[in-house]
Amino acid sequence: MCRSKIYNAIETYVYTPPEVSEDAYSAYLADRHPVLGWPTANTLKKNADERGARLSPANETFSYVASCVDVYGDSFAFGAEATDEQAWANVLAKQLGCRVDNYGVGGYGVGQALLRFEQNINKRPPANTVILTLYPDNLVRNINQWRYLLTRNLLAFKLAFYVDGETMKLAPLFDGDHDAFLEVTADPAMHLPAETYLPGAPSLRAPVKADFPYSLTIASLALKLIEGFRVYDGDVRSNYYNHLSYYDTADGPSDEKKQVARYIISRFAEKCSDLSSRCVVVIMPDPELLYQQEVAGAHGLAWLKPDDERLTYLDGTEVFENVEDICSHVTKPTGCSGHFNPDGYTRMAAFIGDALKKAD
């Protein structure tokens, strides 16, 4: 492992309280979404239409304004690393011959996507079909309130669902002043009741807390580096964590992570079906899901498939034949990472569009 990779790993796994000036923090508060955290006001001005959906060249060609499909999810729903023309929702609009409104937002968990959907249906009726996408790492984001703890994205607070006894609760967006923010940096647990990845927490993704005695910090960091080491397989031009990115222990995701994800999907089914829309859940695959299918015959998100007649479930792993195939359809094929490339998004649009047409 080269020096830069070791340095990056230390940055990822060792919690260091950030420094943010009061002016910078005030500017963040003024720009952020007041409920969801993001998309920010400036982002919407640059990249969204009057409804808040991603700009879509195909949508501009339709004389009618009602959408036939609404899309919610993260950067894979949005179509990150692709132009407005290449985004799969835009391709889907051309395929279906009707407006597709894309409300995907980079960095979202499924919980944020659900709540954006709920905000929108308070403003206008949803489309006849509503799609909620789910990427494996969304499971981690669902139970994270401060992205800095996972990605070092400093000023990125969010709301999150969490289990309190036998009740599911929603922790709102952190809304403290600069002094309260400094308290969060010193002790994130003080203001973030739904945060799973607190420094020193047992989850594989939680950062190590740098504290005395430092020998224990070094030992904890070494364990994180070993657990997070990626093994390169030249035959498939890919690499994998020895524990999947959404695992909390070597045995898999925590019970709370599963419970929160199932709750979000069930709540989506209830809200969507009550408005007489067709409700669709789409698994957006990563290479590790394809790898699991190759070696085990099934991937590790099978437990997410909803047993709910209100939902149509589409498994995007069916879009790709194997690991080699998905690696050739992402933006960084040599390392098999990144978002889908234009061909990958076109494939995804065709897969979803064909499924919707068959269901009509």
Instruction: Give the pLDDT band of residue 213 (cuts 50, 70, 90).
Output: low
Looking at residue 207, what is its pLDDT? 85
For the chain, the average pLDDT equals: 90
The domain locations on the chain are 19-197+253-359
3-class secondary structure, 142: coil
* Whole-number pLDDT of residue 232: 39
- The answer on pLDDT for 9 being more than 60 is no
Would you state the pLDDT for residue 111?
Answer: 98
Rg for the chain (alpha carbons), in Å?
Answer: 20
**Mean pLDDT of the region 17-29:** 96
For residue range 30-66, what is the model confidence (pLDDT) as tens digits?
A: 999 999 999 999 999 999 999 999 999 999 999 888 9
Residue 351's contacts (CB-CB under 8 Å, 6 or more residues apart) are 314, 316, 318, 319
CA distance 253 to 265: 17
Q: What is the pLDDT of residue 235?
A: 47
Examine the pLDDT at 224 and tell me if it is beyond 80.
Answer: no
What is the rounded average pLDDT of the residues 266-275? 98
Question: pLDDT at residue 226 above 80?
Answer: no
Architecture in CATH of 19-197+253-359: 3-Layer(aba) Sandwich (3.40)
Tokens of 228: 């997070």
**Distance (Å, whole) CA 281 – CA 135:** 11
Cβ density class 231-254: b for 16+ within 10 Å, e for less: eeeeebbbbbeebbebbbeeeebb
CA pair distance 317, 298, nearest whole angstrom: 10
